Amino acid sequence: MSKEKINIIIIDDDLGIVESLKSFLEEECNVEGFTDSVEGLARLQEKSFDLLILDYYIDKLNGADIVKEIRKFNNNIYILILTGYSESVPGLTSLENLDIQNYCEKTADFDKILIQIKSIIKSIKFFKDQDTTGGRLKQLRKVNRLSQEDVAKYLGVQISSISQYESNLVLPPTQNILKLAKLFNVTTDFILCYELDIRKN
């Protein structure tokens, strides 16, 4: 799993919720919080975030308005609607009608909210790892049941080089990318994350 911290933004008019979430998440994530929807939207346009935790009822803009605005300039951010009004903002309807990825009811059991958020963070980290050259090399090596030592011998490099490739500390030189594409029967574009298909035609 990547050690790189993911970026989270919280927009909720309840400062207590914002501060509580920040205190629980700051150790493993970069977290920013806003109680004003306009300020939060402005920040989303300035910086790239991985996850938005969004209250539905905030101020003059509600969750639907904010999601609509965000999707005009960002289709990649993962959005979790967090609401205390499940009767007027039902989960299934929200997931079907809003361009969001998850829904959570505010509850007195704060641990339930944290468990859901932490599982989302874990998923985001997992998929971020897959979308790097290092993540793909690690994935291909495991699918082909090869050790780092096997790949190192094939390339004629030290095991530490393979570890650096897979940790995204060093990008393999072009010659090694060509060799790795041949070894794993994939395109060089797949290894470099320019395409999604894992296998050559």
Domains of the chain, earliest start first: 6-130 (3.40.50.2300), 133-191 (1.10.260.40)
What local confidence, expressed as pLDDT, does residue 1 receive? 46
What local confidence, expressed as pLDDT, does residue 80 receive? 94
Rounded to the nearest 10°, the torsion over CA 68, 63, 30, 170 is -30
Flag the least confident range among 62-66, 70-74, 90-94, 120-124. Answer: 90-94
What local confidence, expressed as pLDDT, does residue 201 receive? 35
Confidence of residue 30 (pLDDT cuts 50, 70, 90): very high
Residue type, 139: Q
> Rounded CA gap, 95 and 78, in Å?
13
Confidence of residue 36 (pLDDT cuts 50, 70, 90): very high
What local confidence, expressed as pLDDT, does residue 91 receive? 66
What local confidence, expressed as pLDDT, does residue 135 receive? 82
Q: What is the pLDDT of residues 109-151, one digit of tens each?
A: 889 999 999 999 988 887 776 678 888 898 899 889 999 999 9
The token pair that represents 58 in the structure block: 């905030």
What local confidence, expressed as pLDDT, does residue 166 receive? 86
Longest dimension (CA), the chain: 62
The separation between the first and the last C-alpha atoms of the chain, rounded to the nearest angstrom, is: 30
- How many Cα atoms within 13 Å fall on the side-chain side of residue 54? 33
Q: What is the pLDDT of residues 157-178, one digit of tens each?
A: 998 899 888 887 788 999 999 9
Give the three-class secondary structure for 59. Answer: coil
Rounded to two decimals, the pTM is 0.66
